[in-house]
Structure 1
Amino acid sequence: MELSDLHIPYVVPTLLLAAALLCKAPTLVRAWRDADVRATSLLLALATCVFISVTPVNIHRINAITGVPNIAAPWTYSLLTAFCATCLTMITRWREAPSTARARKMRRVYMIYTGIIAGLWVTFLLADVPDERIYDLDTHYANTPFMREHIVLYLVAHLVSALVAASMIGTWFSQVESRWLKAGLVCLQVGYASGLVFDGAKIAAISGRWSGTDWDFLSTNVAPPFALLDAVLVAVGFIIPQAGPALHQWFSDRREYRRLYPLWRVLRVIEPSSAQARVSRWAPLDLRLLQREQHIHDAMLRLAPFFDAESYTDAFEAGQARHNATTARGVAGAMAICSAIEAFREGAPRDASEQPALIGPDITEHIHVISDCMRRRPRLLGWNATPTESITHAC
């Protein structure tokens, strides 16, 4: 195969959609009973199959493997029609709460588009299309009995689905509050607008053939890029509302996990009060973050009898002379924890009568700031210097 056969404009979106489908596969396995998860997976699968099928080299392969010239046409148009039906039902799922009426409406959509797919195959089987046409099938056979109806049928089905979907989104958009859902709907609207341009170009080119005018370039050159843009944006539009919040949460957890690392590393010398379940480094990030937070808070509880509130106050007051209150609390907290760890190692708790039950809200409520200070100045962990002396070098 030559590089020119790869058709990069087709390959790139195909790989992106296939990657999205693979990423969705674990969710489908875990929650296959969820109708929304199944519908999203079906939509991604159909979009991927459409892109694979419309690649010129694959159109020829389908025809060659089956031995039927142009059979790739009903195959590809059937996938596209099924994709359109799935898009309409997905929008219906988003807009309406589960109900008998919603289920009946979605069944009606599937029944109508199933009938259209059956019509595509019947008209193709009745048509006489012996010459393989990869790039200009629509215009070349625009006047061929039954193939003409075949072409018009898939274009009308696609056009109607785009208009109906765009109308549904337009009347619903102002009621949407989720930024992720809004972003997805914007992609859908732009995608459907591109689809309408595709339909318009195809219909104009075919109408030109009917009237004896050569507008084939609209079908072969203008329409395909808009078809690609349509399918990509529509698929992405359905992915964003589901993948967006999940990715945002993952990045947030990742940032939190890394931010707490310096403090967790210092507190590792404190054995947990009870045996903890082993969590692999390959475990889900949210589980590893939860364990890290639990270890930190458990260590704080064990350090409470060794915490010197007076030293913390002195360090905080000294820190305010050079930093804002938040940074000063972080530095003072870091010094107080280091001091408490030293006392813990020496087995020398403070006077219990002067200690609170917990290590103190100024410490527990600012663990992120404390961890930041430990990351920025490792020398802060020197336990020989007093907090007041070390505060001048911190952060």
Structure 2
Amino acid sequence: MSLEPTGRETSAAFAGAVRSFVARECGSPEQRAQLTDHGREAHSSPICHKLGELGWAGVAFPERYGGSGGGVADACVLLEELAYGQVPVFGLGISMIVGRTALRFGTEQQRHEIIGSVSRGEVSAIAMSEPEAGSDVGAMRCAARHTGDGYVVDGQKTWISCAPYAERILLVCRTGATGRKHDGVTMLEVPRDTPGVEIRPIDTLGGREVNDVFFTGVEVSADRVIGVEHQAWRQLMAGLNFERLVCAATFLGNARRAFDDTLAYVSGRRQFGRPVGSFQALKHRLADLATELECCSLLVHDIARRTDDDPERQLPREASMAKLKATELAKAVTVEGMQMMGAAGYTTEYDMERQLRQNIVGTVFAGTSEIQRDIIGSSYGL
């Protein structure tokens, strides 16, 4: 499937096609329960492979590398609609980030291998955070020391999403010591099944989403360096537009779904002889949330189109705004939704309790809201 760059009409048609797929493959609570082991798993490999067969997993990549020829705006449409449909493909957005990194910094062989894998619906993971290096990524200690023809990696990474499903892990590690903590950092592509790689799942409120990953004497050949040795920090900064838009589009979809589920409930639930949504206390809160959703949608998709218009331009302020707004809004909508649904929102009969568990972490991972606000404030010279 080949895609032209997204215009508004094309975008609407693509969104409609994704909704039809979602309704067929994941439209009922029973289907979602089966695909996620009753909410415990965040990723379904069979569904993601179907997205690959349709050409959608590779929507953000050139056709010559196995993609569908679309762009960032197309990826945001796809991720938003999949999130709205509650499709368990948590690994897709992460894999797209890895693919875009290969597209920008990889060799031709790496581009064909990594982007082709992502476009088939296979998962790639990113290993960056450590127990003592979360928001302060430059404090990482996981190190790769030079050998004759490559590296040997030792260290621990934590909070690594979808690692058990991954074909490869994009490892960000220290390869040199300088006076500046952001120098001497390198990206390595490590096949998940490499000897010495150990994955330990971390149980969380949202299910089995994240993992500790240990590297013990892991041998990595020199041809698995992505980009330039010691320059990974600059490469990471260059990819922030896409990373934050992936997160923003996903949580925009989550927020829309929570809003629509709340609206459906308060429109049907009757107290004192009328739908509870007709009372001013709820009606005005829904009006405010609907307005915020519209603003968030305009923000996210505008920045995606601007990124496509000039792929080399970095938009740190705007990308941080999109990530901040979408994740904070998704959390706010689900908290309000649970309150407006009353005790029903707390039961597993409805999706709201799962949505709350899913959305509350959005303001923490991929750069906390506090970090996003700091970036935005600093962009104004503060």
TM-score (norm 1): 0.31
> Which structure shows the higher strand fraction?
2
TM-score (norm 2): 0.32
Structure index of larger Rg? 1
Higher relative contact order (CA 8 A, sep 6+): 2
